[in-house]
Amino acid sequence: MAFSLNTYPIVYRARYTATGWQEEYLEKPHKTPQEEENLPEAEREKLANSRNYYDDMPLVNYTTQYGLGCFEGLKALPQKDGGLAIFRPDQNGRRFSRSMAGLLMPAFPEDRFLQAVTEVVRRNAAIGFRPHYKKEWEKDSFMTADSIYIRPFSYAEGGIGVAPSKFPYVMVITTPVSAYFSAERSRATTTNRIRATPNGTGWIKAASNYVISTLAKYEANKAGFMECIFLDAREQKYLEEGSSCNIFVYLKSGELVTPELGDTILPGITRASVIELARDMGVRVSERKLSIEEVLSEGAECFVTGTAAGVTPIESLHHQGKEVIFNGGKVGELTATLRDTLKGIQYGTLPDTKGWMLRV
Ligand SMILES: *Cc1c(COP(=O)(O)O)cnc(C)c1O
C-alpha cells in the first residue's frame, strides 16, 4: 500500500481561542524506528494505529457532522546531500489560509503554517522518523522514491447546530509515502458526476469536495480505469480536473492546455509549477476552456498533476463510448520531460533556480 496510515509520532496541534492561536507539539506512543521495524506485524500496526487516536478532542462537531473542514497536502523530500527539503510550503500555507477563510473559519496565519510544517518534519527526523536518499532512485527518475507526506488540516470544536467553526483546531500530521500512482495502467474516463458547481466550494481544498471524487473514482476503478475526469457542471462539455489532481492536454498544434482557474477548480501548486516549467522550456501554455471534443480529436499527450500524483501520464481518455489514445499509449516526450524536471528539482538532482525548496 502506497499511502500507509503509519503516522510519525510528533504531531502539531493549534487551537484558536479568545486570545489567539495556542500551539503545542504532541508526542504520540512510539519506539525507535528500528525497534518498530523489528516488531511482529500485528504489534507494529497496533502501535502505529494508536498514534491516530486523541481522547481529548470532540467527536460531535461541524467537521465530523457537516464536512466543514479543509486540508493541505505537501511533501518533504530526502535530498541527495542527506538533508530534507519541503516543496513550496509557502504556497500551501497561503492556500490553507484561504480555504479556512472560504469556510468562514479564522484563517490560520501563513507564517505559523510554515513554522509548523517545518518543525513537525524536523522533530520527527530528529528521533529517526524520516526516509533517506537512495542513489538507485535516480535510475527510474524517482518513480519509486520515498518521501514524507505532510497533512495539515482543520478540525472543528464541539457543536451540533449548523454553523461555521469559530474555534477550530489546526493539526499537522506526517506519514511516510512511496510512489502513489502505478506506472503501467493510466487509462482515464470522464464521469457524469459533478465534483464542483459554480458558486460552490470547488476552489477550496475542502474535505466535503472529496465525497463526489471518492464515488466517481471508485466507479472508474471498478470499470478498469485509473482515474476519472470531471466535466463542467453547466454543460458537461469542458474538462475540469481529476479526482484529486489537475489535468493538462498537449495538443497536436503544440499548445499545452490546462483548464483555466475559476470557482470550480482547485488551484494546484503542482499545476502552477508545471505551467512555469513548460513556459521556461519555450512551450506555448494556455489556461483556457478545453472541451472533451477537442481532446478527443486533437490531444497528443495528457497528464495529471498533484502533490501525490507528481506528473502522471494518462495513456488514454474514454468518453461515452469514444476513446483517444495519447501518443500510441506511450509516455509522451513533453510529459516525461516535465515529470523528470519536477522530480529532479524536488530531490535535488537539478538546481532549484526558483527557490521552491525549503530546507528543513
Ligand atoms: C490537492 C488537489 C489538487 C492538486 O493540488 P497540488 O497543490 O498540486 O497538490 C488538485 N485537485 C484537487 C481537487 C485537490 O484537492
Residues 240-275 pLDDT 10s: 999 999 999 999 999 999 999 999 999 999 999 999
| The pLDDT value given to residue 180 | 54
| Percentage of the residues of the chain whose pLDDT score is greater than 90 | 94
Q: Could you tell which of 191, 208, 211, 244 is best to mutate to test the pocket of ligand 1, judged by most ligand atoms within 8 Å of the CB?
A: 244
| The pLDDT value given to residue 141 | 87
Q: Where in the chain is the domain with CATH 3.30.470.10?
A: 10-177
For 187-347, the fitting CATH number among 3.10.180.10, 3.20.10.10, 2.30.29.30, 1.20.140.10 is 3.20.10.10
Distance CA 129, CA 8 (A): 6
Q: Could you tell which of 214, 266, 338, 339 is best to mutate to test the pocket of ligand 1, judged by most ligand atoms within 8 Å of the CB?
A: 266
| The pLDDT value given to residue 85 | 98
| The pLDDT value given to residue 1 | 39
Confidence of residue 56 (pLDDT cuts 50, 70, 90): very high
77 in contact with ligand 1, CB cutoff 6 A? no
Confidence of residue 3 (pLDDT cuts 50, 70, 90): very low
Q: What is the mean pLDDT of residues 2-18?
A: 87
Q: Tell me which residue has its CA closest to atom 12 in ligand 1.
A: 244
- Mind listing the pLDDT tens digit for each residue in 196-249? 999 999 999 999 999 999 999 999 999 999 999 999 999 999 999 999 999 999
pLDDT exceeds cutoff 70 at 183? no
Q: What is the mean pLDDT of residues 282-291?
A: 98
Q: Of the candidates 319, 259, 322, which has an alpha carbon nearest to the alpha carbon of residue 290?
A: 259
Atom in ligand 1 nearest the alpha carbon of residue 267? 5
306 in contact with ligand 1, CB cutoff 6 A? yes
Q: What is the mean pLDDT of residues 287-300?
A: 98
| The pLDDT value given to residue 177 | 92
C-alpha atoms less than 13 angstroms from C-alpha of 244 in its C-beta half-sphere: 20
Task: Write down the mean pLDDT value for the chain.
Answer: 95
93 in contact with ligand 1, CB cutoff 6 A? no
Atom in ligand 1 nearest the alpha carbon of residue 242? 11
pLDDT exceeds cutoff 60 at 181? no
| The pLDDT value given to residue 309 | 86
Q: Mention the CATH class of domain 10-177.
A: alpha beta
Distance 243 CA to ligand 1 centre (A): 9
pLDDT exceeds cutoff 60 at 182? no
| The pLDDT value given to residue 35 | 97
pLDDT exceeds cutoff 90 at 7? yes
What's the chain look like in SS3? CCECCCCCCEEEEEEEECCEEEEEEEECCCCCHHHHHHCCHHHHHHHHHHCCCCCCCCCCEHHHHHCCCEECCEEEEECCCCCEEEECHHHHHHHHHHHHHHCCCCCCCHHHHHHHHHHHHHHHHHCCCCCCCCHHHHHHCCCCCCEEEEEEEEECCECCCCCCCCCCEEEEEEEEECCCCCCCCCEEEEECCCCCCCCCCCCCCEHHHHHHHHHHHHHHHHCCCCEEEEECCCCCCEECCCCCCEEEEEECCCEEEECCCCCCCCCCHHHHHHHHHHHHCCCEEEECCCEHHHHHHHEEEEEEEECCCEEEECCEEEECCEEEEHHHHCCCHHHHHHHHHHHHHHHCCCCCCCCCEEEC
- For the question of whether the overall pTM of this predicted structure is more than 0.85, the answer is yes
Distance 12 CA to ligand 1 centre (A): 22
124 in contact with ligand 1, CB cutoff 6 A? no
pLDDT exceeds cutoff 80 at 185? no
Distance 73 CA to ligand 1 centre (A): 8
Atom in ligand 1 nearest the alpha carbon of residue 92? 7
Atom in ligand 1 nearest the alpha carbon of residue 270? 8
Q: What is the mean pLDDT of residues 153-175?
A: 97
Q: Where in the chain is the domain with CATH 3.20.10.10?
A: 187-347
pLDDT exceeds cutoff 50 at 334? yes
